[in-house]
Structure 1
């Protein structure tokens, strides 16, 4: 199961550069969900299905996974993963979840008020995508890439949940 989770979560983290660069979005708690994912040409269960699998893990395994995610500033949400972005992080264009030692690089190749196109390279993959901003509290993203030699794609939806992030903070 860990292998199944790694690609979709990696894809969702790759779309975060656009989230952080969108200076007009609201700061606070955001939830990113996805129903359409493919790895190596095979459909992968959507985020909701993966969240359901996480709920069915033995308590100690689930707690371990949740702790690992929390160290990266990620929390399980109702329909996806949740991240916190402060106003300062948005203005500074700091990318949540990007490990400075990851070796990933992101580049916005085109942007307007409604659409951002980007490409990324990581030690184990590369790709491109686009984000369409519906409002300051909602956007959709499409990411296509190759990870560990397998083609991957994902369509996701992000929604602002609350101004207060509660206990969830970026590490």
Structure 2
């Protein structure tokens, strides 16, 4: 597996440690795509490149990656990482984007109907960010901090794909 792909997926998940929720977000499948990702002043591959790398893996490696992601309640979609959000998770505002066993924590610093500001701390990443709610089917997040001791930043967009999660389990 190419080193860029191996390090970029964890980076996407670490730098997006909290998916803030407005009470009226739609339950179902959400797809999160990242862009403008930088570590140590160096641009990291965009979501399209990561998805292309995944498709170009030998079938056995691709299946191994897909199984590993499925265990964490995520899968790769056409434009990003997909996850299932239940109505219960949205109502309780307990919607983790990171693996619950990752050692990450977050704190909401400010909360309104359209903007949440937060701080996060993971074993390899720390920083602050904000989530802006565009509608009940879309929100954007900007994060700045450090990843493995280097300055990092990322922007992401989450969009609702559909109500039926199919075989994708919630996290």
**Common topology (TM > 0.5):** yes
Task: Specify the alignment match of 2:52 in structure 1.
Answer: 52
Structure 1 portions without partners, runs of 5+: none
130-139 vs 97-106, greater mean Cα deviation: 97-106
Task: Report deviation, 1:22.
Answer: 2.7
Contact 1:120 1:128 (C-alpha < 8 Å) held by counterparts:
yes
Matched, 1:66 2:91: no
Structure 2 portions without partners, runs of 5+: none
Cα distance in structure 1, aligned partners of 2:123 and 2:35: 26
Paired residue total: 170
Distance verdict in 2 for CA 1:167–1:61, change over 3 Å: same
Matched, 1:10 2:30: no
Distance verdict in 2 for CA 1:2–1:27, change over 3 Å: farther
TM-score after normalising by structure 1: 0.90
TM-score after normalising by structure 2: 0.90
Distance verdict in 2 for CA 1:167–1:13, change over 3 Å: farther
Task: Specify the alignment match of 1:145 in structure 2.
Answer: 145
Cα distance in structure 2, aligned partners of 1:82 and 1:122: 21
Deviations 1:90-145 (A, max 9, x none): 11222335444322110110111111110101122211101111000001110112
Task: Report deviation, 1:154.
Answer: 0.7
Which secondary structure state, in structure 2, belongs to the residue aligned with residue 65 of structure 1?
Answer: helix
